[in-house]
Amino acid sequence: MVHTYYFSASNTTEKIVKAVADNLRQEVLHHNITPSRIARTVNPAKDDIVIFAAPVYAGRIPVVAAEKFKKIIGSGQKCVAIVVYGNRDYDDALIELCDLLNDNGFNIIAAAAFVAQHSIFPKVAALRPDADDLKKIADFSSDVNKSFDRELSFDMSSVKGNRPYKTPAAIPLIPKTNKNKCNKCGKCSHECPTGAIDLNNPRITDPEKCISCGRCIAVCPENARHFGGLKYKLIAPLFKKKCSARREPEWFVAG
């Protein structure tokens, strides 16, 4: 059986990990570790194959995802590491995820970095993964399939990234709530990965806890949350220009 464990605030990592898993010739069980209040995570059985996936935040994997992944202990299971980034760069995120999984007792057979719509600046890599990406995801899955039945060794030095990992820059953007649209349903508060949104008054966000992940925006049924303000409006077009050249998926498999 294949187990996937993924963190996905704005659902693109989820879409990609499900596409990878759908192309494998195995029964699949998905574990979404994104919300802060999740039931205890299940460790995979000895013969299972495991896929771990996370978005790239400031060139690293999100701290909240790394903390949850560290609690999933392996015993030599074959495993696939995936990061998803918003067309700027994945920097040290993939090597960081590979190191974490190695230290946790998994046997990495493949690692990949895919591109998706930027969750803070959605005009960057808009609507990705697109049809071209999905074709490449199918090619990746086919390479992974070939590694299942053979004892191949994975070359960690082939994975792009540096150690020590880069220090992630703080992202000083907190979603705002449109008071006219918000009906205080509490969905954003329940889904926030860090518990930053007040349960009794979802219009209040704790700036110390918010990691700018955009989950509250993605899950709000009233479309009441958004990134905005002068700083955001100034940065958005500059960032779009800087990241306009299309980047393609990259992967590394055991050989």
Q: Which residues bind ligand FMN (CB under 6 A)?
A: 8-13, 55-59, 84-89, 116-120, 171, 212-214
Rounded to an integer, what distance in angstroms lies between the CA atom of residue 235 and that of residue 12?
Answer: 22
Contacts of 40 (CB under 8 A, 6+ apart): none
Instruction: Judge whether 240 and 86 are in contact, CB under 8 Å.
Output: no
Count of other CB atoms within 10 angstroms of residue 17: 27
Which amino acid appears at position 247 of this protein?
A: R
Among 182, 228, 235, 240, binds ligand SF4 (CB under 6 A): 182
* Complex with ligand FMN: residue 108 or 116, whichever CB lies closer: 116
**From the list ligand FMN, ligand SF4, none, partner contacted by residue 225 (C-beta under 5 to 8 A by kind):** ligand SF4
H or E element, residue 147: helix 131-148
**141 touching ligand SF4, by CB under 6 A:** no
Number of residues in the chain: 255
> CB under 8 Å to 150, separation ≥6 — which residues?
none
Residue 131 CB neighbour total at 10 angstroms: 6
For ligand SF4, the binding residue among 194, 228, 235, 247 (CB under 6 A) is 194
Q: Verify binding: residue 215, ligand SF4, rule CB under 6 A.
A: yes
Residue placing its CB nearer to ligand SF4 in the complex, 113 or 192:
192
Both tokens of 227, joined, read 């990134």
Tokens 């963190």 -> residue: 7
Least CB distance to ligand SF4 at residue 100 (A): 21
Cβ closer to ligand SF4: 95 or 216?
216
Establish if 225 lies at the interface with ligand SF4 (CB under 6 A).
yes
Q: Name which of 78 and 128 has its Cβ closer to ligand FMN.
A: 128
Among 222, 235, 240, 247, binds ligand SF4 (CB under 6 A): 222
User: Which parts of this chain interact with ligand SF4 (CB under 6 A)?
Assistant: 175, 177, 182-188, 192-194, 196-197, 202, 205, 210-216, 220, 222, 224-225
